[in-house]
Amino acid sequence: MRLFPTRRSLLQGAGALGLLGAALGHRSARAAGPRRLVIWWSGGGWDTSYVFDPHFETNVIDRDPDSDRATYGDLTVAEAGDRPQVKAFFDAWADRSVVVNGLAVGSISHDACARLTLTGRRAEAPDLGAMLAAGSSLGRPLPYVALSGPRFPGELGGTLTHVGALALGTLQGAQPEGASYSADREALIREFLRQEIQRVDPDAQRPRLQRHQDALTRLDTLDLYADRLSLPENPTDDERVALGLTLLQLDLCGALMIEAPLPERSRWDSHQGNDLNQTDCYERGFGALHELVQALEDTPDAQGGTLLDSTLVLAMSEMGRTPLMNQTGGKDHWPTTSLLMIGGGVSGGRTLGATTETLGPATIDLSSGEQSASGERLSPPALLAGVLSAFDLDPEPWLPGVTPFTAWRG
């Protein structure tokens, strides 16, 4: 069964918003920078030595003994016969991808690492999706969508929509048992609110009223595509991913958080059975990621090129795993991790960042990504600041004094 709709059906849906600006089969120059973000979250902590950061030059790390070095230009990863989807992904997309090693998350708590990785701070603060939505995506009906995975909107909670069966069912006119809903009454309420906003604030001087006006406009736009958006009450991972792709293709959201699909019985948090869990999770996750990236590449963008040219995909986990196995054949939490950047704005075919032979974060030059004794450790604030700057947003209001990590842009 296919994870996503066919190419023809995707193009027909995209055409509703004028996304067919490029002729089918014509490929324009890649976009200079991204306009959409997908955070592809693998919660639990992946073992970076299995793919991203194998350290073949040392025997200090307990890595997969059956893996081999695979090189794609300046990008080096570990591949193995029992992870064919990893190889398939890099065969197809290495030139559009950058591996980043040595991200120092500074904790071994799942919640603390997730918060720091996504917000750049340990205290409550908006995460990357919310910052981007507030700065560049408010014109879309759903500026920031969370289908699954962690989210920390902080003071920007108004940008975030948690899309589920209830929300989409209501949008389509369905309602929970015992509820009372009338489309005509809803239309009258919206029109009354618009008239009141115009009467009270004709010169658009009250920001809160104007945000409400903008929300009404976005809701009207969303109504036009209600019949194309659905999700079962208990959706599968694949169904969530497919909906996320539809939202991107219809240009309804600018930032998307989604948890990568997992195998039925394996997990990233592999305190026991590290080899089985990590192999299964990488295989399942990279297979789904490959399909997502292919679907983005198959969909033309109204600006020229494809959706992959204008969408930055961040494949991330909140932490890594220890260099050595524990007594039960597992690996425990580790405060250094890796990530994969794909698509819009990425100068691909490279591995950036570095770790020591025991998987500690090495110091690097943030503008080149190369190891440097005079550099600094790659921190989540620097990573996030680099992403914000790629969207032509000033990171200073959110991450003051932080030097952006820009090496991935070339």
Every domain of the chain and the residues it spans: 7-164+231-409, 169-229
Q: How confident is the model at residue 331 (pLDDT cuts 50, 70, 90)?
A: very high
pLDDT for residue 253 is more than 60 = yes
pLDDT for residue 26 is more than 50 = no
pLDDT for residue 358 is more than 60 = yes
Q: How confident is the model at residue 302 (pLDDT cuts 50, 70, 90)?
A: confident
More confidently predicted of 15 and 394: 394
Q: Residue 183 has what pLDDT?
A: 66
The whole-number average pLDDT for the span 319-341 is 97
How much is the pTM?
0.86
What topology is assigned to 7-164+231-409 in CATH? Alkaline Phosphatase, subunit A (3.40.720)
Q: What's the pLDDT tens digit per position in 113-170? A: 999 999 999 999 999 999 999 987 667 888 999 999 999 999 998 888 887 655 665 5
Residues listed for the chain: 410
